[in-house]
Structure 1
Amino acid sequence: MALIAEELVEEWLNRKFYFTIRGLKQGNHEMDLLAISHIGDQIHRCHYEVSVSMRPVGYISELTKEGQSELGVKSAKTAAKRPHHILKQSVASWVEKKFHHPVRTAMRDKCLPGGEWECTFVHGVANTNLQ
């Protein structure tokens, strides 16, 4: 499903005249989509992370060590209900890892240096109950 979702976002970007790079990898770090477009006299740079689930049963972001300790759970991937402050903490950590990690920043800058990248998370749930 992830591949189809990425292809759909890529097609949408291409129809808006963006040049796209999908699946750029370095070590354990992979970026779903980079999109670049020339708008007026500016170059628009976008980094997209895409997630679509058939049957979502948990959180996209893992718990931080502090969150695990506070909730008293062993797994960072637990589906246990999270209070708002722990959820904010988990999401902030996920955003940092997915968009602002030094390896990912270096990969983007290697593709097109000298500008700011807009970071976007595309999320969806596929409806499996179609009749």
Structure 2
Amino acid sequence: MGIRARIGSKRVLPTVAGVTVGIIVVAGVGLWIGRSLPTDTATPQVLHGTVSIVGGDGSEFGIALDGTRTGKSFGLGSVPWKDSNNSWHNGGPIDCLKPSTSGQRIRFGVIHVTGTENDSDLVAWVDCS
């Protein structure tokens, strides 16, 4: 029985080799697909600060960022925002950035975008909580 067991185990070798080659092929295809997908995603930089002024139409705001001595201004489009009750909203007027207000503390995400004419920082979300 020892000889037959050794002879029978030789049939397992081609099966194991075939499965191994199959795994390598599938992994290679997966890698190729993953590399060919667009990579236009960005992780926003999280900033904190005290609002110095919100523009009259609410489309921009100035802020004194924590840890800096200089103010900075940002344009503001329709972005997701979180209210003081921790509920998220998809656009609309932002409670803590009402026109002509100041002094409120906010946390927000910014994505730096480089373009052909000039670079800009885009606000991705605002947290009023």
Using the size of structure 1 for normalisation, the TM-score is: 0.21
The structure in which a higher percent of residues are strand is 2
Higher RCO structure, 1 or 2 (CA under 8 Å, sep 6+):
1
The structure in which a higher percent of residues are helix is 1
Using the size of structure 2 for normalisation, the TM-score is: 0.21
Q: Which has the larger radius of gyration?
A: 2
